[in-house]
């Protein structure tokens, strides 16, 4: 059985940690799309209407951490005093990290910040038959 952190890293469903939450990878050529329901256990990811607006706050925290880290790294590496150096680096970083932030803000929200959504070990792994899910 995989841990919560592994489930987040592998973009797994918070309920069963088996089904994938997204189609494709964060940086593939195909468009990144989230399943509406878990393909393994049928859990509805958007647990209430507009639920993923809250992921904006998580995404914002990610962005602040990334931008601060990169701004400091740029300052240490280049010793630049030109604002254009920082604008260029941070603009590129924001674009590059956007798919990552989109994906992992929702995963962190569902796995760590949603007390109503809990892991059910009975749903983990291969499904034996549909009767097991109902009981």
Closest to Zn ion by CB, 40 or 106: 40
x-or-dash string of contact with Zn ion, 25-44, rule CB under 5 A? -------------x-xx-x-
The span of 12-20, 22-30, 51-59, 94-102 binding Zn ion (CB under 5 A) equals 12-20
13 binds Zn ion (CB under 5 A): yes
Sign of CA dihedral 118, 121, 46, 62: positive
Strands (E), 11-126: 22-23, 33-34
Closest to Zn ion by CB, 45 or 62: 45
How crowded is residue 82: how many other Cβ atoms within 10 Å of its Cβ? 9
Closest to Zn ion by CB, 19 or 110: 19
16 binds Zn ion (CB under 5 A): yes
In 92-120, which positions are buried (b, 16+ CB within 10 angstroms) versus exposed (e)? ebeeebeeebbbbbbbbbbbeeeeebebe
User: What is the spatial distance between Cα 66 and Cα 17, in angstroms, rounded to a whole number?
Assistant: 27
Query: 7, 8, 11, 19: which one contacts Zn ion (CB under 5 A)?
Result: 19
Restricting to residues 42-81, which ones interact with Zn ion according to CB under 5 A? 43
User: What is the spatial distance between Cα 59 and Cα 109, in angstroms, rounded to a whole number?
Assistant: 10
89 binds Zn ion (CB under 5 A): no
Binding site residues, Zn ion, CB under 5 A: 13, 15-16, 19, 38, 40-41, 43
């Amino acid at each position: 059985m995989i841990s919560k952190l592994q489930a987040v890293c592998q973009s797994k469903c918070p309920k069963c940690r088996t089904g994938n939450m997204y189609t494709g990878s964060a940086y593939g050529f195909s468009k990144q799309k989230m399943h509406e329901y878990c393909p393994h256990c049928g859990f509805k990811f958007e647990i209430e209407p507009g639920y993923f607006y809250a992921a904006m706050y998580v995404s914002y925290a990610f962005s602040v951490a990334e931008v601060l880290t990169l701004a400091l790294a740029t300052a240490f590496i280049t010793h630049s005093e030109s604002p254009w150096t920082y604008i260029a680096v941070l603009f590129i970083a924001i674009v590059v990290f956007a798919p990552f932030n989109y994906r992992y803000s929702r995963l962190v929200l569902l796995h760590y910040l949603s007390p109503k959504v809990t892991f059910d070990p009975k749903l983990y792994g291969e499904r034996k038959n549909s009767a097991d899910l109902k009981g």
